[in-house]
Structure 1
Amino acid sequence: MHIILLGAPGTGKGTQSKFIAKKYKIPQISTGDILREHIELKDAIGKKILNILKNGELVSDDIVCNLIYKKINQKNCTKGFLLDGFPRTITQAKYISNLGIKIHFVFEFIVPDELIFQRISGRRIHIQSGRTYHIFFNPPKEEGKDDITKEQLIIREDDKIESIKNRLKHYKKNNNELTKYYLEENKLKKLKFFQVDGTKKPDIIKKEIETLIENKN
């Protein structure tokens, strides 16, 4: 099974992708995770990516497509995969199509901008362990500090307000074209495309997605 999750940053794709990956035993391939892996490795591509994100820009199609290609050709993807946050442009969508990989489901998460700002700007990360917190929804016991180590929490560069504004601007610029592309693919019955209300509680969204995937009609 090959599944794509679309949506602006902060729409809940990451939460639902973990559920889908576990439920259907397919690996989750997150563009964001791949980019952060390289940033933490501080390799050549990681340094390049970090500079791009600091400016609130999107990483180029060439870089992202090459990294995704390497991931989907690994052994654990032979029975399927879930793409979280890819494709983000029509070029990336056509890239996947040109690889001859059949996509079964595309879910697009819809959330108002105001809620996206609240969700993303409130994130806090314990960089050493990867533990995440949120100042509104999942605050640490002690403000600004990790619950276990008491080390300082950080705000990721791409979670800062100016960066969020730029990410949303770029997302919207590409999204209309991307949505039209998948609506057309849906019309041609090449895949199933659904829009998901990302403002609902995660458990409700989870059940809705499960029903849509398992509905054979």
Structure 2
Amino acid sequence: MEAIKVEHLSFGYTGDVPILEDVNLKIDEGDYVILTGENGSGKSTFLKLVLGQLSPNQGKIELLGRDMASGSFRGLKIGYVPQNSISGNQDFPATVEEVMRTGLYRPLGKRLSRKECNKRVLQALTELGMEDFLKRRIGELSGGQQQRVMLARVLADEPKLLILDEPTVGVDSSSIQALCEILEKKHKEGLTILMVTHGNTRIFAGANRHLRAEEGGITE
């Protein structure tokens, strides 16, 4: 099954030249895909369409077999790490542990036990080398450390599809290396990954597909 299926997708703001036009794309389960492109090429718009933050003018998007015209993400195991997700909130009083737990909160459906939550939180932080920061306030961490925590937060919920938006922006070299290693490991375990970046893609050795957004299209 395709993790992401896009058919004849077009989008443009009213009165403007279309940003994306007749895009057709399939990302299979287990793919590790990097999407690049210059500023204004449409890669960020494409991501917003996939995440349901924008609605297509034409065409359709399916995620994990569900037509997203319904607008419902309920039950879909999708993890999303936005760019600089904690930036500007340095005074946020929550600890790393508390931030991690918010990713496991389930207002609907079966909730995880406290024991299972603790296990997942510690395991995910350990994979990212952040277990020693469990009781630290998130605002005390560097940008790279914060980004590692936010990735660990998403991975703790065991998604089937992981989407990352410019995860290396403002991140130190050690955190980038940790990111590369964990993404390669998760890909080998079967996780489907879509990452948007304009940085150096050669450092992400585990990726098996490279896409480029340009002139209203997305090509491989």
Q: Same fold (TM over 0.5)?
A: no
Higher strand share: 2
TM-score (norm 1): 0.40
Higher helix share: 1
